[in-house]
Each structure stands twice: as C-alpha cells, then as structure tokens.
C-alpha cells in the first residue's frame, strides 16, 4: 500500500474508533504532533522487527493501524500532555475535565466530604455510607485496553476498600481495590470470565500513594508510586465496554459488592489504552493545575475582618454599589443573626468548602437578607461561600440561606454561583418579587423538614398584598430573560430541588438530581392556586436537560399543580420506583367549573426519556382528569416557535 493510502486509511478508521490519547505521539521529538509523526508510523507500517521503536506506540511488537490512529488523534497537541477518557481532579469539582459535555460523567457525591488532598482538594470517604457515582455515558466506555490511576490514602480497617469501579459485572469493566487481604487488586471481566492481578499493599496504609492498574491485552500490571509491583498474563486480551455507572469508593457486582472505602482519593485519571511505566511516572510527578481561584473582585474591595456577624455587616455597610465584600476563609459552627444587604454589591468567599457559615440552633431567620436596591441597574453577586442551616428531617427550623425580599415592580438581577446550601428547613435560596438572573454550579443538599424544604423557592410576589397577581397580569413569554434560572447545580435529599408559586417564573436546566424526602417530587414546577388565601400559582416554567435518578426520588420526577410551560429532554435513570411527570390541581374535586383558577392550560412535553423509552405523563388523583386533559391542556409535542434562552446564561462568568 502506498504511503498516501496508508494515511488515508488510518484517518478513515480514526473516524469510527474511540479516540486514543497519550503523550508519546511526538515521534520525532520536535515538541509537536503533526504529519511528520504520522509519516514515521506509516513508513514502518506492518513491520514486526527493524522498525523505529517509537512507532510502536502501544509496545505490542508490531507497527499497526492502532499506532496510526493513536498518532493521528494527537494532531495539534504537545508531547508533554497526557489525556484520556476521564480526569476528576476532585478540587471541589464534580466535572470530568476531559469531557466536552457539561452533563456527561458528572459526579454525584453521596456523603463524601471535600478535604485537603495531594493537589488542592480530595474526597474523604468514611467507610460507612460515603460513595461517589457518575451516570453512564458512552464517552466513558473502555473498549479493549485500559489504565486507571489516582492518589489514595487508605486506612486498614480489615475490609475491602474499593477505589474505582466501572461496571464490574458479567459483561465487562474493571475493579481497582485494596482488599481485606492487604492486596492492591485489579480485576477485569469479559463475558463472565474474570482476570485478576494483585500486589501486596502492606506498608502503604495511612499515607498517600499513587496507584495504577493497566491492562494491555498481554498483561495486567499494578504500580505503586510508579514502581511495577505485579504483572500477570490475563485470561483474555480485550475488555469489552459496559453500560453501568462509574463508582468511586463503592463496589457493585458479584465480587465485593456493597463494600465502601475508608480513606481519601485524589486526581483520578482513566484511559482507554495501556499506559507505559514511564507514563505512569509522568502522571505521578505532574503538578496538576491548582484549583481555580475565585475571580478577581469587582470594583473596590472591602475585606471583612472575620466571619463574625458584626464584621461582615460592617464590611457590607461600607461597600458602595458595585463594590466587593470579601469574606475570609474559616468555618463558623454557630452563626447567629442575619446580615442585611440593600445595594448591588458582590459578596465573595474563598470557596464553598473554605468559607462556611453554619447555624447552630433552630431559627426562622435567614443568614443573608437582601432588600431592594436604590436602582434597578444594580446587580447582586454571591459566590464561593457555604451556608448551612440547623435543620434536619425532624427539625422545626424554618431557616433560609438567602432571602430576597419584596421588590415592588422594579426588576433586579442576581448572580449566585459556586456555593453550597445545606440543611435549611425552608430553602437554601428564597426569592420574592421581580428578582431574576442565574444560580449555577451550586450544591443543594438536605434542605428539608416535614412539609417544607427546598433548594430554591421562586416567588414573583412583589408585595405582601400582591399574592402573585402582578406576574400573572404580565405577558407570558417563554425563552425570556425574566426568570430565575437554575442551571448546572446538584441536588440531593431536598424535599423539592426547585419549587415555585405566587406568580413565579423559573427555568431549571442542566442539573443533576439524586434523591428527595417526604414522598416529594424532584422538581416542583408549580405550586397551585390557594383558594383559601388567594395566592396565585406559578406563572411559567421551563424544565429541560436535567438528569434525575429515580430510585431515590420518592414522589415522581417532575410535577405541576398549575401554570404553563415546557418540559423537554429530561432523562430519568434507575427508574425502579415511582417516576412520572405529574399534573394535578389543588382545587379539583370540589365541583368547580372548568377551567380552574390558574390551572394548566398550555404545557408542552416532549423528548423526555425514562430508561431509553418515552417518559410518560400522569394526571392524578382521578378527579383531576376531568380538568387536565391531553390535547386541550397539555400537549405531547414541541411548542411551535419555542426557542430556549441562551445557555449558559449570559450573566455567568462576569459582569454583563
């Protein structure tokens, strides 16, 4: 075959094979991976001896099509870069840094705590009920060979300590663990056949070490701190892909199922090829990019002297509109009182796990109270802070993290990001009036109490007497800026992640939901009309591109008691229990004429997926079915002319 044809064939195969990435594609050591490197491989193509050793990129003693694909896939990179399927830095981030999809592979953290690691932060697992998972996405599929490497600090508790697990079932996948026999253990599977390699881990407990497992088809190899510790010939030469989720700190499957890690994990990297020992050492010795610091403060800076209430309030009082109040690092475990803000400023901490204010006793007050500003042109920014309430499931506390008070008819913009809201009895964030803007990259965890408990509560009631009438009298407009946007956030064990009422308008998109309490829906699109008080229903909602784990959602996935909107392209996984899109109305069953006050009249539902199938709509109880009917009040297709608002929200990432 001529050289030109070899190159064309290699590039054609590259289009259909998984991308293979590494660091040694710079075969001529000129610092770049380009056509000259591909020519080196093509020149020795098919040779089993007498070839340029660098052309045999996977060290299988033949220069073949995989070497061509491997080099071609690195075009435009430098030789110092190692990239693979997944990189989780665990620096208070849940994202796969090597993924271009904002949702794919995003980690769901179940109890594990951020703490100091080898590089920036790490995750600490208690060995009792802490673990982390990433919903399956095809971009995480191992196909053939694999490498997995990370920093660990494991405690010898006499049990299996699973580190990273991908499927580990009869079909395929891998399992990296320190087992109860004091062995670092890599197991792979292929259609019911298992292949193992294990190395003595005695002497490595209670300290940080770099561990790696490699499968190259000829051998399974274990490394500790860059040193090869054990090599075995596997029972098969390829590992097939699996569709199960990636687990960190927990095992699943037929061996070691249900065990939990006691220790720390940092800097996880997964490759769909076999790394060399040199590359393992390179990974170990890399100086990873430090955690992203909070952005530079906006305007003049006023530093709070401490996290004491008086010091924070004093800094806020000194700030002029457009200034930034910077809070120091630290944790207050019994924060008492409320900080009041009445101007468009920025309040900035040192990180959501680094600057933390916690309630230590029951209260009905919020930690931050935001009053209307002198001008609607002012914006309020709040970021890199953790706020914890006192609440628990049995608590009587009605506390909030941040409350935005009645705005009147003036519009105000809010931008809240990189924050952690936990254990509030009422809500992490509670808005009243024409506050609109974006809440993103925030965690909402354990905000619940009997009958209450929300991550975000959205009310467009502009005054105590308004009850939401002003919003209902304003034009209904989908795809508008005039909403509270909640995007790229994580929710676990809130009664509802997002709820709305009293004319509320909200957009909930690109979020991950994992569990509710009190038999509650994951997303409560609309509280209904209250015929006793006259409080109006939610006016408008748009709910799309959210991922919901159904086996921990006890009362359905998404629900509406009124209002109008769109629900599209949401995915529900692990749907073992109740999981539906629910429509109902508080006033149904009382003999009232159709239509009911503020009932659903124009909801469009399309392209929602439940375990690979269309996700159904349910109207119940049965007395609601007279009032809420398909083809009249809700429609199972896209709304004509609908266009969603810009994603990511234009207010993200700076002043606009």
530-548 pLDDT tens trace: 988 999 999 999 999 998 8
Q: Which of 238 and 314 is assigned the larger pLDDT?
A: 314
Domain boundary residue among 72, 102, 125?
72
- How confident is residue 57, by pLDDT bands cut at 50, 70 and 90? confident
Position 514 scores a pLDDT of: 77
Is position 582 within any domain?
Answer: yes
**Residue whose entry in the numeric block shows the structure tokens 């592979």:** 105
Which range (27-36, 205-214, 345-354, 536-545) has the least confidence? 27-36
**Across 629-643, average pLDDT:** 96
The pLDDT of residue 479 is above 50: yes
DSSP code at position 18: P
Position 125 scores a pLDDT of: 93
> What are the residue ranges of helices labelled H in 508-557?
none
Residue 485: domain span: 306-326+339-635
**Across 636-652, average pLDDT:** 95
Cβ burial, residue 76 (10 Å; 0-12/13-18/19+): exposed
- Give the CATH number of the domain where residue 8 resides: 1.10.1330
Which of 39, 58, 409, 429 shows the shortest CA–CA distance to 218?
58
Whether residues 472 and 559 fall in one domain: yes
Torsion 204-210-211-217 (CA) sign: negative
Whether residues 379 and 253 fall in one domain: no
Position 22 scores a pLDDT of: 36
Position 12 scores a pLDDT of: 43
Is position 541 within any domain?
Answer: yes
For residue 582, list its beta bridge partners.
559, 618
Q: Which of 139 and 247 is assigned the larger pLDDT?
A: 247
Whether residues 472 and 513 fall in one domain: yes
Whether residues 212 and 344 fall in one domain: no
Rounded to whole angstroms, the Cα distance separating 27 from 74 reads 11
Which range (29-38, 254-263, 287-296, 364-373) has the least confidence? 287-296
- How confident is residue 508, by pLDDT bands cut at 50, 70 and 90? very high
Whether residues 113 and 54 fall in one domain: no
Residue 38 backbone phi and psi in degrees, to 5: -65, -35
Position 17 scores a pLDDT of: 36
- Give the CATH number of the domain where residue 165 resides: 2.60.120.200
**Across 70-81, average pLDDT:** 65
Is position 80 within any domain?
Answer: no
Whether residues 136 and 48 fall in one domain: no
Whether residues 269 and 414 fall in one domain: no
Whether residues 548 and 446 fall in one domain: yes
332-342 pLDDT tens trace: 999 999 999 99
Domain boundary residue among 72, 107, 130?
72
- How confident is residue 11, by pLDDT bands cut at 50, 70 and 90? very low
Is position 585 within any domain?
Answer: yes
> What are the residue ranges of helices labelled H in 44-135?
65-72
Question: Mean pLDDT for the chain?
Answer: 85
- Tally the domains of the chain: 3
Is position 561 within any domain?
Answer: yes
Domain boundary residue among 44, 72, 100?
72
Residue pair 564/540 in contact by the 8 Å Cβ criterion = yes
Is position 372 within any domain?
Answer: yes
Strand, helix or coil at 655?
coil
**Across 548-554, average pLDDT:** 61
Give DSSP secondary structure letters for 595-608: SPTT--S-EEEE--
Is position 448 within any domain?
Answer: yes
Which range (245-254, 505-514, 604-613) has the least confidence? 245-254
Position 489 scores a pLDDT of: 93
The pLDDT of residue 100 is above 80: no
280-300 pLDDT tens trace: 999 998 865 555 555 666 679
Position 549 scores a pLDDT of: 72
Position 550 scores a pLDDT of: 58
**Across 462-480, average pLDDT:** 96
- How confident is residue 458, by pLDDT bands cut at 50, 70 and 90? very high
Q: How far apart are the first and last CA of the chain?
A: 57
Rounded to whole angstroms, the Cα distance separating 485 from 74 reads 38
pTM for the predicted model, two decimal places? 0.69
Tokens linked to 244: 């199960």
Is position 581 within any domain?
Answer: yes
Report the DSSP pairing between strands 496-501 and 523-526. Answer: parallel
The pLDDT of residue 504 is above 70: yes
Strand, helix or coil at 309?
helix
164-193 pLDDT tens trace: 998 755 567 888 999 989 999 999 888 888
Whether residues 33 and 131 fall in one domain: no
Position 27 scores a pLDDT of: 65
The pLDDT of residue 30 is above 80: no
Whether residues 167 and 207 fall in one domain: yes
CA 628 to chain centre: 34
- How confident is residue 320, by pLDDT bands cut at 50, 70 and 90? very high
Whether residues 65 and 208 fall in one domain: no
- How confident is residue 104, by pLDDT bands cut at 50, 70 and 90? low
Rounded to whole angstroms, the Cα distance separating 147 from 134 reads 18
The pLDDT of residue 432 is above 80: yes
The pLDDT of residue 551 is above 70: no
Whether residues 351 and 381 fall in one domain: yes
């Amino acid at each position: 075959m001529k050289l030109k044809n070899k190159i064309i064939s290699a590039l054609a195969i590259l289009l259909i094979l998984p991308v293979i990435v590494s660091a040694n594609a710079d075969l001529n050591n000129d610092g770049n991976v380009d056509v000259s490197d591909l020519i080196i491989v093509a020149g020795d193509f098919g040779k089993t001896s007498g070839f340029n050793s660098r052309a045999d990129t996977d060290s299988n003693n033949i220069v073949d099509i995989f070497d061509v694909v491997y080099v071609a896939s690195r075009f435009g990179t430098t030789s110092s870069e190692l990239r693979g399927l997944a990189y989780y830095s665990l620096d208070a981030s849940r994202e796969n840094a090597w993924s271009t999809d904002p949702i794919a592979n995003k980690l769901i953290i179940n109890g594990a705590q951020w703490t100091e690691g080898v590089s920036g932060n790490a995750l600490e697992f208690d060995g009792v009920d802490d673990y982390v998972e990433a919903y399956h996405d095809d971009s995480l599929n191992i196909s053939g060979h694999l490498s997995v490497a990370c920093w660990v600090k494991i405690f010898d508790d006499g049990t299996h300590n699973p580190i990273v697990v991908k499927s580990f079932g009869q079909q395929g996948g891998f399992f990296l663990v320190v087992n109860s026999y004091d062995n670092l253990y890599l197991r792979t599977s292929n259609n019911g056949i298992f292949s193992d390699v294990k190395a003595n881990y005695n002497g490595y407990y209670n300290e940080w070490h770099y561990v790696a497992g490699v499968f190259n088809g000829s051998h399974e190899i274990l490394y500790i701190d860059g040193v090869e510790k054990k090599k075995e010939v596997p029972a098969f030469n390829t590992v097939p892909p699996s569709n199960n989720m990636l687990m960190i700190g927990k095992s699943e499957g037929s061996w070691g199922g249900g065990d939990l890690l006691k220790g720390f994990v940092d800097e996880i990297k997964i490759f769909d090829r076999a790394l060399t020992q040199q590359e393992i050492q390179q990974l170990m010795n890399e100086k990873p990019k430090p955690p992203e610091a909070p952005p530079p403060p906006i305007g003049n800076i006023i530093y709070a002297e401490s996290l004491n209430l008086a010091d924070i309030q004093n800094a806020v009082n000194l700030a002029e509109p457009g200034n930034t109040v910077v809070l120091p690092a630290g944790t207050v475990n019994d924060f008492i009182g409320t900080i009041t803000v009445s101007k468009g400023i920025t309040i900035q901490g040192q990180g959501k796990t680094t600057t933390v204010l916690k309630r230590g006793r029951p209260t009905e007050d919020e930690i931050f109270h935001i009053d209307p500003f002198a001008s609607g042109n002012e914006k309020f920014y709040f970021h890199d802070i953790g706020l914890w309430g006192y609440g628990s499931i049995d608590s009587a506390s009605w506390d909030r993290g941040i409350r935005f008070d009645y705005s009147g008819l003036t519009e105000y913009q809010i931008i809240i990001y990189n924050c952690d809201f936990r254990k509030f009895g009422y809500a992490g964030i509670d808005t009243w009036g024409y506050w609109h803007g974006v809440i993103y990259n925030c965690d909402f965890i354990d905000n619940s109490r009997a009958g209450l408990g929300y991550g975000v509560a959205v009310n467009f009631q502009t005054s105590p007497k308004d009850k939401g009438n002003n919003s209902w009298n304003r034009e209904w407009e989908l795809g508008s800026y005039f909403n509270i946007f909640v995007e790229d956030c994580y929710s676990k064990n809130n009664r509802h992640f997002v709820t709305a009422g009293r004319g509320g308008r909200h957009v909930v998109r690109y979020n991950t939901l994992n569990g509710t309490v009190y038999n509650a829906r994951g997303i409560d699109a609309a509280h209904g009309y209250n015929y006793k008080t006259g409080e109006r229903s939610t006016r408008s909602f748009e709910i799309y591109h959210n991922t919901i784990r159904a086996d921990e959602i006890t009362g359905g996935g998404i629900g509406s008691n009124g209002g109008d909107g769109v629900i599209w392209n949401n995915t529900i996984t692990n749907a073992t229990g109740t999981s539906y899109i629910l429509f109902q109305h508080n006033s149904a069953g009382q003999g009232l004429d159709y239509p009911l006050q503020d009932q659903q009249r124009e909801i469009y539902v399309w392209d929602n997926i439940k375990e690979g199938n269309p996700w159904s709509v349910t109207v119940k109880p049965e007395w609601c079915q007279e009032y809420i009917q398909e083809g009249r009040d809700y429609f199972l297709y896209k709304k004509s002319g609908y266009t969603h608002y810009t994603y990511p929200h234009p207010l993200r990432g700076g002043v606009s």
